[in-house]
Structure formats: structure tokens, C-alpha cells
Homo-oligomer: A and B are copies of this chain.
Amino acid sequence: MAHTVKDKTKLLARVRRIKGQAEAVERALEAEIGCSDVLMLVASMRGAINGLTSELMEEHIRHHVVDPAHEPDPNRARGASELIEVIRTYLK
């Protein structure tokens, strides 16, 4: 992955947030707080993982397949742009 520093910082922030959420779930289980509260924390973590997945797929498309912003072939640029849009819809 030869991503920009900005992209890498953003992705690392996302994954550290997920690690923090896993720690919160761990503490919640140890403190024996209610099941349904633990499940709500796990649901947020799942949402954060979908966000990270979507971001990583988008990065992969831009850096290793076709970057819509710099592609000279307009059909490919449009195809890649539509694909990114579809992935965002599926993982939001």
C-alpha cells in the first residue's frame, strides 16, 4: 500500500477507534453491565468496521485499480466512481 500520509492517518484513526470500542466491550463484560447495553456497544463497533471496510475498498480502487480523479479514459473513470458509490451504499 503506497497511500498518502493523510489517508494512512485517517485509516489508523479508524482502526484505533475500533480497538477502543473492543476495550469498552471488554470492560463492560467484566463489570457485568446489562447484556443489552453490551450488545449496543458491539453494534457500534460493527458500524465502525463497516466504515473502515468501505474506506479501505475505496483506497484500494483509487490506488490499485482506477482512480476516477486521474483516469484519462472517461468510461473507466465513471465505472470506478460508480463502484465506489455502490460500495458506500452497501457498507453504510
Interface residues of A (CB under 8 A from B): 1-3, 8, 11-12, 15-16, 18-19, 22-23, 25-26, 29-30, 32-36, 38-40, 42-43, 45-46, 49-50, 52-53, 56-57, 59-61, 63-66, 75-76, 78-80, 82-83, 85-87, 89-90
Contacts and interface: CB of A to CB of B under 8 A. Distances in A.
A42 B53 contact: yes
9 contacts: A1-B35, A16-B26, A35-B56, A35-B59, A36-B83, A40-B89, A64-B76, A65-B66, A65-B79
Contacts of A8: 29, 32
Counted per complex, copies of this chain come to 4
A59 B57 CA distance: 17
